[in-house]
Amino acid sequence: MRLNPFPPLARGLAALTDPLLDRLVDSGRRPARRWQLRLVLLVTVALYWIAFGTAQLTYDTRVAGTGPMFFVALVIALPFAFVLTRPMPALLFSVASAFVLALVLPQEQRAVWPWEVVQGLIVFVLLFATGVTRTVREGAVAWLLTSALFWWGLPPGERGGWAVGLGAILLIGVLTGRLLRTRQDLRRQTEVSEVERDRRIVLEERARLARDLHDIVAHHMSLVVVQAETAPYRVPEIGDAARDELLSISGTARSALAETRALLAVLRQENVEAEDAPQPGLHRLGELIETTRRAGVRLDVDISGDLDGLREGRSLAGFRIAQEALANAARHAPGTPVRLRARGDGRGVELTVVSLSGPGGAPAEPGHGIVGMRERAVAAGGRIEVGPTAEGFAVHLVLPADAEGQA
């Protein structure tokens, strides 16, 4: 079996370069991806060995010796490591080091430039990167300093041509930077347009849902109210018990109709405030119990402690979850006794609704009601457990105390 050495080498390289990459990312002005920085470090190492191997072509190593060339190659190649993060300071360092090395080290008689070719190429790249990432004024300063270096180190007949060439490199960098920034602005504007389009689609869908709710729910609930209130006049032989039951149905339908109107207002507009009518909460749990019993549910109730201390949002969530749990118990297990336990103390409110149908009384799959209860509990900062128990299907809700310390 042949072993692949590249993954271990890659992991070792990552372990060695990640600390330096973190420093480069933290110190840079423009963000760069980690793989880009790792590639730059690899190129920097390659440039270091090229600068060290070709040092004798520029400097007289017979006089200066080979040992200092390790440091000289490091000074030459190191600025390239900052081409993505700090190109202009790296360019200034490279220009200054080229000037100092040309003055300090003895030159080889056959050398074309007073500095290494690798250092000249690094200067070109850093000048281009400065034009891409910096302003035109900063690029002009970088061009003047680089042109001064070439003007000092080259024969008189070559100075003008190199100044024009360096200007062309800077100009290409400036145009490239403007093109990249224009594309980024266009991409950002496209993303904003897509967000606005999605927002408009959501608002249109909410308006459509509001119309559907108005046409379906509100219309039928209004008919229920009218029929319940006019039944005693249309059917004179109705007894007193049935008359009271019809009045109760009328009151429940009116309450549901008022809540439907509030929901329609929220769906029709964005950032709409609730109506002046108070929202239901755990303080109205007694009304919910009475309504449930009038619907024919055998309900065993045990309420202890203070349930009125929760803030409005959490109290509303607790009321809605209790309402949904009781409705599910009446819908999925009609005629089955239901037990409701509610307890409030300084730590919060604990609510339990159990449909006493015995083991195996859970629905096959969670419906929208169960999903809605879980979402309400999470949104209110509480926790909920829904599922079968030995006694039947249970909903256990815990709403914690508010931040102000109230129950």
Where are any strands of DSSP class E within 282-392? 299-305, 338-345, 348-355, 383-388
pLDDT for 5: 42
Calpha distance 91→93 (Å, rounded): 5
pLDDT for 395: 92
pTM comes to 0.44
Closest C-alpha among 102, 124, 121 to residue 58: 102
Top-confidence residue, 14 or 1? 14
3-state secondary structure of 212: helix
Calpha distance 50→9 (Å, rounded): 22
What angle (nearest 5°) sits at the alpha carbon of residue 281, between those of residues 276 and 286?
Answer: 120
Top-confidence residue, 164 or 259? 164
Calpha distance 41→15 (Å, rounded): 13
* 87 neighbors 106 (Cβ within 8 angstroms): no
Of all residues in the chain, what percent carry a pLDDT higher than 90? 7
- Does residue 61 carry a pLDDT above 60? yes
The values of phi and psi at residue 177, to 5°, are -65, -40
Dihedral sign, Cα of residue 387, residue 389, residue 391, residue 397 = negative
Q: Which two tokens stand for residue 143?
A: 């061009």
pLDDT for 340: 93
Q: How far is CA 119 from CA 41, 55, 393, in A?
A: 16, 11, 77
Considering only CA atoms, give the Rg of the chain.
39
Top-confidence residue, 201 or 319? 319
- pLDDT-derived band at 265 (thresholds 50, 70, 90) equals low
Dihedral sign, Cα of residue 20, residue 26, residue 29, residue 31 = positive
Top-confidence residue, 313 or 139? 139
pLDDT digits (tens, 9 = 90+) for 128-168: 999 888 888 888 898 899 888 888 878 887 788 888 988 89
Closest C-alpha among 249, 250, 257 to residue 213: 257
- pLDDT-derived band at 15 (thresholds 50, 70, 90) equals low
Q: Which domains does the chain have, with CATH numbers?
A: 6-154 (no CATH), 298-400 (3.30.565.10)
- Does residue 44 carry a pLDDT above 60? yes
Calpha distance 362→78 (Å, rounded): 69
- pLDDT-derived band at 313 (thresholds 50, 70, 90) equals confident
pLDDT for 111: 65
User: Averaged over 208-214, what is the pLDDT?
Assistant: 66
Identity of the residue numbered 333: A
pLDDT digits (tens, 9 = 90+) for 325-370: 888 888 777 788 999 999 988 788 999 999 887 775 555 445 567 8
Top-confidence residue, 55 or 97? 97
- Does residue 253 carry a pLDDT above 70? yes
